[in-house]
Amino acid sequence: MQANIRHQVSPYLVFFIIYNSQVGVGILGFQRIIAAKAGYDAWIGVLLAGCLVQAFIWIAYKLLGKADGDIIDVHINLFGNFLGKFLSFFIIIYYWLASISVLLGFIEIVQVWMFPTIPSWILSIPLLLLMYYCVSGGFRTIVGMSFLSFVFPQILLIYLYIFPLKIAHFANLLPIMNHSFMEIMDSIKSSMYTLAGTEALLMYYPFIRDPKASKKFAHLGVLFTTLLYTVSSIVSFTFYSENQLKTTIWPELSLTKIIKLSFLERFEYLYISMYLIIVTSLLGLLFWCSSRGLKKIFCRKQKYTLLILCILSVVLSQFITETFKEMLDKMVTQMNLYIFYGYIPLLLLVFTFLKRGNQNG
């Protein structure tokens, strides 16, 4: 069921929503993780992971187009009201857990790089208040934030990549394909957490005006972010040695230390502050998906479900340890792979088979 046209957005804006959903705090440190799996051949894994995301976009549009609604409508059409909402609840929980992972990741960066002694709640409460204000404005406000999160950080990324390339060692990438197939596959799996986010399409699909026309912009958005992550990994691989990369937690963020401007000494402060736009818009999108999902499942106003999720997020951010955070990131990665690259393709096959059977009957 499509949303009211007043709440829908133009097809071309899906490009910015896809960018917003995929580019988060993960880009700051994924290079070390994927290099641990496949060395400096890991950039190949990023490209292959991008191909998997493109396949998911195609599957999602096929599935949602057949149901003419979001993932909850798909489940209800197939399994009925009770079981359909029960299955949808797990996907909604994924959106919320993913938002917690993003929130904790950004808080950790701010505490390590800028304010080491500041408590987590002082950071989480203003951030969630800002996010709550954006989500309360509706989906069109979130899309506007997605556009801003694309425009401003790209200016900084130009600086961030030009400076290291001046002293890059491209010989680090040679010889190409020096790792086994299984190692490349491991790097693909590690890249999937960083490239995650496009699954939000399963919730905001009804809010796209002329969804068929938006499909090409969704694919272009994935292509852009895949190339962005590939360039980011190559820049890090040509700047750091493998031993350096093993001990550098946030390789891309550490690159900012070499940027010296006549009017700005600590470029990383500006970079992290600018990342507030990206994190806020990403949190807004994920919280919108989870709160809207709970609204449809439990038939409650979205402002109430959003408020409950915000309160739970603030409370959790105070008690989650570093070990639990690593477990959370791993769990989100596993849920992403199993639900969206295993269950959703299977759901498309079941939906197509059952609907065709009904038509024949």
Per-residue pLDDT reduced to its tens digit, 42-74: 999 999 999 999 999 999 999 999 888 999 999
Instruction: Specify whether the CB–CB gap between 72 and 84 falls below 8 A.
Output: yes
pLDDT tens, position by position, 197-227: 899 999 999 999 999 999 999 999 999 999 9
User: What CA–CA distances, in Å, run from 72 to 3, 17, 99?
Assistant: 14, 20, 20
Q: What is the pLDDT of residue 73?
A: 93
Q: What is the dihedral of CA 89, 8, 56, 75, to 10 degrees?
A: 30
Average pLDDT score over residue span 79-108? 94
Q: What is the pLDDT of residue 161?
A: 81
pLDDT at 87 over 50: yes
Average pLDDT score over residue span 151-156? 74
Q: Which two tokens stand for residue 164?
A: 């290291």
pLDDT tens, position by position, 253-286: 888 888 877 777 788 888 888 888 899 999 999 9
Q: What is the pLDDT of residue 287?
A: 96
Q: What is the pLDDT of residue 356?
A: 64
Structural domains for the chain: 5-348 (1.20.1740.10)
Share of the chain above pLDDT 90, in %: 58
Average pLDDT, the chain: 89
Helices (H), the chain: 14-22, 30-38, 42-67, 71-79, 81-113, 120-136, 139-165, 181-195, 201-204, 211-239, 242-247, 251-255, 267-298, 302-319, 322-335, 344-360
Average pLDDT score over residue span 5-17? 92
Average pLDDT score over residue span 118-127? 91
pLDDT at 311 over 90: yes
Q: How confident is the model at residue 195 (pLDDT cuts 50, 70, 90)?
A: confident
117 three-class SS = coil
Return the bridge partners of 9, or none: 208
Q: What is the pLDDT of residue 361?
A: 46
Q: What is the pLDDT of residue 322?
A: 80
